[in-house]
Amino acid sequence: MKDWLWFSVAFWHTFRGTGGDPFGAPTKSWPWEDGTNSLAMAKRRMKAHFEFMEKLGVDRWCFHDRDIAPDGKTLVETNANLDEIVELAKELQVGTDIKPLWGTAQLFMHPRYMHGAATSPEVKVYAYAAAQVKKALEVTHYLGGENYVFWGGREGYQTLLNTDMKRELEHLANFLQAAVDHKKKIGFQGTLLIEPKPQEPTKHQYDWDVATSFSFLQKYGLTGEFKINVECNHATLSGHSCHHELETARINGLLGNIDANTGDPQVGWDTDEFLTDISEATLVMSSVVKNGGLAPGGFNFDAKLRRESTDVEDMFIAHISGMDTMARGLRNVAKLIEDGSLDELVRKRYQSFDSEIGAMIEAGKGDFETLEKKVLEWGEPIVPSGKQELAEMLFQSAL
Ligand code: XLS
Ligand code: NI
Ligand code: NI
């Protein structure tokens, strides 16, 4: 199980989540917090984070540059703060197997990014974002991180009336290409990942879903340099199931990482809940197994405690429950594979394409004239049952 399930703690939710929401004040008061955003506090928090990971037995973590260290007054000061915390994290990693699953730059919180980062109409903001990603790539590399994620947050628009979509997409593509170049320059071997999300906070984001992101990568010649980080809650927001997004990524050779969380279909917001649904986890794990695993990616718990969960113990319960759910999903997939009935049902459903004509079509040689002749010879096709209820029954009985 350990080979299949690489778990990661998301620093921003677990150590910077306050329990606040648009209508309510923060609810958490962790014993190590002093209510400031000082460098000393950032250090104490990082130590608490490592203690948490060690107690939990998880050896991967994910972070944004700005969650782990406070902003300074200038970029120089901000980078110096970051260096201090990264140095501490590096020391805390010594003698453990702990390292980042991925790092990323937070390009959405600061007011300078109100129009976007790489898609901002302001060239100075584009440059600032570049400088920030440069540094974030370097520290991820320094900490032995295995991947680097791009999730823009504000790379989209509220209305096209004031937006030049073509220019923004081209800027974004150039930005990502420059990130690839810098990655190679510093010798970072990790995978670069794009994390699709349809909207929120902007009305429309350019990386709407896996298929949209894939066509963007293709159009700008970036395939081969990027994989996809599928977040289940983002799938919900784009009107897809997580399974659909995972399969779309997988069959295109793009499945690199999973932000293992879940949303609420009745809330319509990235609620980032821990995934505890065994059926959902089984579908997720079936894609992972078909993908031959995710390495060097894994499962990042991009999930937060509910506002009402305020005990330190709840941090443990949430992560343990998230891990157990994925593990049970994996077990169920093993059961389904060993039983073989579901695979057999799918195989049978397409077996007419194993015929001579079917093979011809699959080889791209099914010309319309030949097929018309066949129809005249065969007559009206007799179409067999799709066996959907049987498929659902086989799936459910493995849970
Ligand atoms: C937000 C995203 C974010 C990314 C990292 O919705 O999920 O948390 O994973 O920037
Ligand atoms: Ni995410
Ligand atoms: Ni999200």
Per-residue pLDDT of the chain (399 residues; tens, 9 = 90+): 999 999 999 999 999 999 999 999 999 999 999 999 999 999 999 999 999 999 999 999 999 999 999 999 999 999 999 999 999 999 999 999 999 999 999 999 999 999 999 999 999 999 999 999 999 999 999 999 999 999 988 999 999 999 999 999 999 999 999 999 999 999 999 999 999 999 998 999 999 999 999 999 999 999 999 999 999 999 999 999 999 999 999 999 999 999 999 998 888 899 999 999 999 999 999 999 999 999 999 999 999 999 999 999 999 999 999 999 999 999 999 999 999 999 999 999 999 999 999 999 999 999 999 999 999 999 999 999 999 999 999 999 999
> The tokens of 378 are what?
């065969």
Rounded distance, CA 156 to CA 201, Å? 9
* Pair 16, 28: CB distance under 8 Å: no
Q: Which ligand is in closest contact with the Cα of 150?
A: 1
pTM over 0.95: yes
> What residue's CA is closest to ligand 1, atom 10?
151
Pocket test for ligand 1, best of 151, 238, 299 (most atoms within 8 A of CB): 151
Q: Which residues are catalytic?
A: 64
Rounded distance, CA 69 to CA 72, Å? 9
CA of 62 to the centre of ligand 1 (A): 10
Q: Residue 331, Cα to own-chain centre: how many angstroms?
A: 23
CB-CB neighbours of 219 under 10 Å? 12
pLDDT at 302: 98
302 lines ligand 1 (CB under 6 A): yes
Pocket test for ligand 1, best of 195, 207, 208, 230 (most atoms within 8 A of CB): 195
CA of 231 to the centre of ligand 3 (A): 6
Report cis status (omega within 30 of 0) of the bond before 296.
yes
CATH topology of domain 7-339: TIM Barrel (3.20.20)
CATH 3.20.20.150, the chain: domain bounds:
7-339
Return the half-sphere exposure (C-beta side, CA atoms, 13 A cut-off) of residue 261.
27
> The tokens of 133 are what?
């990603």
Closest ligand 1 atom, residue 231 Cα: 7
Q: Residue 244, Cα to own-chain centre: how many angstroms?
A: 14
